[in-house]
Amino acid sequence: YTPGDENSLHVKESDEKISIRAYNEIPEIISVAQYFKVDGIHPGVGFLSENQDFAKVANHYSTFIGPKTSVFSMMGNKIKARRIAEEAGLPVTPGSNGTLKNERDLFSIVDKIGLPLMIKAADGGGGMGIERVLHEEELLPAYKKVREQAKALFGNDSVFIEKLIYPNRHIEVQIIGDNYGNVVHLGERDCSIQRSHQKLIEFSPADISDELRDAITKAAVRLAKAIGYTNAGTVEFLVDEQENFYFMEMNTRIQVEHRVTEMVYRKDLIKEQIRVASDEELGYEQDDLKSYGFSIECRINAEDPDNNFEASPGTIKKFIPPEGENIIVDTFIPVINGRGSFEVSAIYDSLLANVIVWGKDKKSAIERMEEALNMFIIEGKGVKTTIPFHLKKIKEI
């Protein structure tokens, strides 16, 4: 853990507690792994989870619980990923075939595909390094802005263009593969409810036709097999109103919203990751996997939904998560009820907790989520949350 996280729930409940300077300090993390002679290193969902250099070093001293290091370079660069997806037979949105070399290149491609469009950082991720362009006068400022962001955030100012599919839905497919060529999918999740290109609500199954579900899941498995993918991953797609789908990107890690899939498929995906990293076969085939019921996840952020989701750091004086059948709360904040407090820092992501529920159908899952959100008590000085937003929005899924 890092300074500032010593009171976090995961630190309090850990058997061993080692302080490091930062979560992206590779040498320190490896030193800790060596000292304790760990069997495996799980990178989590952020920071180093898609870092090829970290995966290589982790594998040298232990076992990296994730995919083969070769896939990071294939899927990490969005332009290369588009090209590989096309070669595997997946549809992609119209756009530039490579990076934009200059402003002349920019205008030339825009003349071909037209507006609206998206300008994206080639090495981007996490909803960062993306600008939507609806009008011609926005084009050049957006191009310059994304290049600056890309250089600052990813160390590479290369950008590319994609046609904006709007309105759209953001549908992603969970896959997992072993070291013996077996790859299966565990259905899809709808992650369309977002702010600033970052997800707020996810649910499964998505409200799509059986024909689209069959096509989109087969496409995800086909891509995974084409690149020799192992361990857990997610293939993300955009779907338009006519149910045409387009490959967007592949996340080569477990995702925050994996719990939704676990609820409906009754599989512990972290356990499966560890099994695959231990060189075990999956031990099941696609026909063995069935989806049951309906699951929803709401991301509870320290943000003000009435003020454009502005970050809302402060001091939490009371924190009591909901409890009940088929309700899960993932959080790093310990229960606070009358004693103590917890500082919500502006340093890290604004996520406070994930609330995940399961119901026998969509109606019962929505009712259970409403119950859970109404039970959730977060009080303090200066801290506002997205709970009011979620209570309104889940009625629309």
Active site residues: 253
CB 383 within 8 A of CB 344: yes
List the beta bridge partners of residue 300: 353
List the beta bridge partners of residue 250: 235
Secondary structure (3-state) at 54: helix
Kindly list the distances between the CA atom of residue 251 and the CA atoms of 73, 85, 143, 225, 235, in Å, as whole numbers in the listed order. Answer: 12, 13, 25, 15, 6
For tokens 């300074």, name the residue.
Answer: 3
The DSSP result for 347-379, as a single string, is: SS-SEEEEEEEEESSHHHHHHHHHHHHHH-EEE
Among 148, 143, 157, 150, residue whose Cα is nearest residue 129: 150
User: Which residues, including other chains, have CB under 8 Å from residue 355's CB and lie 6 or more apart?
Assistant: 297, 298, 300, 321, 322, 327, 328, 329, 369, 372, 373, 376
